Amino acid sequence: MSFPAPKLPVSLVANPRLSSWVKFTGDGRVAISPGKVEIGQGIVTALAQIAADELDVDISKVEMMRASTAASPNEGVTSGSLSIQQSGRALRHVCAEVRQRFLLAASERLGVDEALLDVDDGTISGPGNVRTSYWELAGDVSLDHDATPGATAKLATRRAVAGHSVRRVDIPDKVFAQPRFIHDRALPGLLHGRVLRPDISGARLIALDETAARAIPGLVAIVRDDGFAGVVAESEAATEAALKVLRKGATWSAGEPLPDEDDLAGFLKSQPVETTVIDTRTAASPKQAVRTLRRQYIRPYIAHASIAPSCAMAQWDGDRVHVWTHSQGVYLLRADLAIVLKLPAENIVVEHMEGAGCYGHNAADDVALDAVLLAKAAGGRPVRVQWSRHDEMSHAPFGAAMAIEIEADLDADHEIVGWRHAIWSNGHAARPGRAAQPALLAATEIANSYPRMISTNPPAANGGGGDRNSVPLYDLPAWTITSHRLLTMPVRTSALRTLGGQGNVFAIESLLDEIAALRGEDPVAFRLRHLRDERARDVIRAAARRAQWKPQKQAGIGHGVGFARYKNTGAYCAAIAEIEGADDIRVKRLTLAVDVGEAINPDGVVNQIEGGAIQATSWVLKERVRFDRSRITSTSWTDYPILTFSEVPAVDVEIIQRPEIEPVGAGEAAHGPVTGAIANAVFDCLGVRVRDLPITRDRIIAAMELAS
């Protein structure tokens, strides 16, 4: 019998050099350089825990370096709940191997067998009180070696830091207002910039009268490159004033019409598409269907709606440029900048600084190119560009709208004998750095512009895009899953948390609930009967137990359940919603159980699940991007309301810890299950299925009219 050769974690295959991840510094600390970035998810702390554990140094000695193309390993993009999986595994491996190399060196220096040595907070000691440390040995131990497969990390039972709720390393700065956000950094000689963008969707700048703007005190430059125009000034106030008058002098082309916001399905199903059969399953002994339920579900366009408008800084030095950004992928952004600027990538340094939570591909990358283009006119001074709230809500990419149609064939007992799931949606990813053309907004505006990149979907092996979570985890006898990706894109879309996962889980969980109700079967029991995966069954049972499923029926109160395993390969999550249905739907309580394998920082996992559950509640009850036929109209918080403190439900989370199982991310696990649970609770409460998100009073009335 042969065993497969041990393999390196994926991030190490791409960046094998140990020294690119770990350095022991002169001040008695250890610098850890992950390629993933902090976006409010607490990843920096979780990675510090892994490093501290494997190296046996106190976590206070671990200094986490911000990602930069100048020094960091290239780990692509911080997205898809993959940072723990990719960066975490890589760091665990690297630190285990580094520790091993130091133990070997210590053994030689101290003349003690390696197996007798112990590491405590970086001090290596052995019998007879002999001792040295990582820092003493650092000069003798070169880490300029490639990682080798087979380095052995600690046993799960011996971990002292990973698996515990360590306090996040970034929180004190944020509570005491120490500048940590890119928005708060003032570089010496900093200038400010703003870019002029159209109100009309797809309009192009065709003429610009700059006269009035030139008279604004503090103006440094007006930058015009065909359809791209912006201002640089000494102060933010001056940029705003200049932009205001510049707007009055602008002439725009007619733009491109937008779809009817009240007929998203009609629009999505009438466009040219690329059709992919995602999966089929054929029953060994097909059963006769006696009826078919055909249901259509709609997920609207959803805004990332970060609390901070996107911001970047750039500074030129000859033909080299330094960029500060809160992009999720510094190398990917650099690749796109290189295309636009027609410069070798080596001339561009892209350095990460924290921004507010982004929840996917928002305008972070766009504003970086804006800053780079405006900084060309700044005579070597750095330029900071910050988008307006209006631009953030109208020009950044949105999460794609989806129309999902499921046909379920039922036998005489209402058991499912066939299942066809079809999705119509724009692609869910148009991130920079992955194609021969740039994905950045200003690249579509400058002379010799690039066309707007039509969103595509990641391959199924990476969890898919519009089709994410469309293949049921349930053990149904037969199915066909089809994805229709739009080849037109009047509304700009790219990655938003869960990609298509939220829409698909909403559809699947809603229809399963409907079929369970047809059968008169408890929806929890129905799901358990159709699941073989014990981890899936465990989260559903845990959530049900915790919510005391199913509570006594009360007038005006409804309960519903939802479940998914994110991407069908990631975290398992079950949610139970308790709602109150009067004039409006109010979600009172969400009870969730989650299994991420090894939870590196349990409180961090709970925080992510709570946050995901609350954000999903906001999407479900309130959110849709609004537009008329010519422009996005939801450009403020008044027009794009999100859940407020008084509307937020109680959220109760149980983690099923499995320290022996490789960890996966938690950031996107809750959205689908919570969406399904709320929709099903609405039915339990009001007896009506709302299949068109968001679930507002108008949608409930419409669904009631349709049902009667």
Q: Does 636 bind other proteins (CB under 8 A)?
A: yes
**Which of 547, 651, 678, 693: binder of other proteins (CB under 8 A)?**
651
Closest distance to other proteins from the beta carbon of 45 (Å): 10
Q: Does 3 bind other proteins (CB under 8 A)?
A: no
Q: Which of residues 292-321 bind other proteins (CB under 8 A)?
A: 305-309
Q: Does 389 bind other proteins (CB under 8 A)?
A: yes
Q: Give yes or no for a contact between 578 and 559, defined as CB atoms under 8 angstroms apart.
A: yes
Q: Write out the H or E segment, with its range, that includes residue 576.
A: strand 572-581
Q: Give yes or no for a contact between 117 and 103, defined as CB atoms under 8 angstroms apart.
A: yes
Structure tokens at 333: 């952004």
DSSP state of 263: -
H-helix segments, 547-632? 602-622
Q: Does 394 bind other proteins (CB under 8 A)?
A: no
Q: Does 683 bind other proteins (CB under 8 A)?
A: no
Between β-strands 118-120 and 123-126, what pairing exists: parallel, antiparallel or unpaired? antiparallel
**Which of 108, 184, 260, 346: binder of other proteins (CB under 8 A)?**
184
Closest distance to other proteins from the beta carbon of 263 (Å): 29
**Which of 473, 511, 614, 695: binder of other proteins (CB under 8 A)?**
614
| Cα separation, 69 vs 232, whole angstroms | 26
Closest distance to other proteins from the beta carbon of 176 (Å): 6
| Cα separation, 464 vs 468, whole angstroms | 5
Q: Does 485 bind other proteins (CB under 8 A)?
A: no
* Binding track over 349-388 against other proteins, x by CB under 8 A: -----xxxx-x--------------------------x-x
Q: Which is nearer to other proteins, 234 or 407 (CB)?
A: 234
CA dihedral 283, 284, 287, 289 (to 10 degrees): 20
Closest distance to other proteins from the beta carbon of 394 (Å): 13
Q: Does 289 bind other proteins (CB under 8 A)?
A: no
Report the Cα–Cα distance between both ends of the chain, in Å, rounded. Answer: 65
Structure tokens at 311: 């911001």
Q: Does 191 bind other proteins (CB under 8 A)?
A: no
Q: Does 176 bind other proteins (CB under 8 A)?
A: yes
Q: Does 637 bind other proteins (CB under 8 A)?
A: yes
Structure tokens at 114: 């390696």
Q: Does 181 bind other proteins (CB under 8 A)?
A: yes
Q: Which is nearer to other proteins, 132 or 310 (CB)?
A: 310
- Hey, what amino acid is at 513? D
DSSP letters of 619-683?
A: HHHH----B-SSSB---STTTS----GGGPPEEEEEE---TTS-----TTSSHHHHHHHHHHHHH
Q: Does 175 bind other proteins (CB under 8 A)?
A: yes
| Cα separation, 472 vs 199, whole angstroms | 41
* Binding track over 218-237 against other proteins, x by CB under 8 A: -----------------xxx
Residues 495, 496, 498, 504, CA torsion sign: negative
Q: Write out the H or E segment, with its range, that includes residue 526.
A: helix 523-529
Closest distance to other proteins from the beta carbon of 458 (Å): 24
Closest distance to other proteins from the beta carbon of 362 (Å): 11
Q: Does 288 bind other proteins (CB under 8 A)?
A: no
| Cα separation, 471 vs 475, whole angstroms | 10
Q: Does 172 bind other proteins (CB under 8 A)?
A: yes
Structure tokens at 379: 């005579």
**Residues near other proteins, by CB under 8 A:** 39-42, 167-168, 170-172, 174-177, 179-181, 183-184, 186, 235-237, 305-309, 354-357, 359, 386, 388-389, 603, 607-608, 610-615, 618, 636-638, 642-646, 648, 650-651
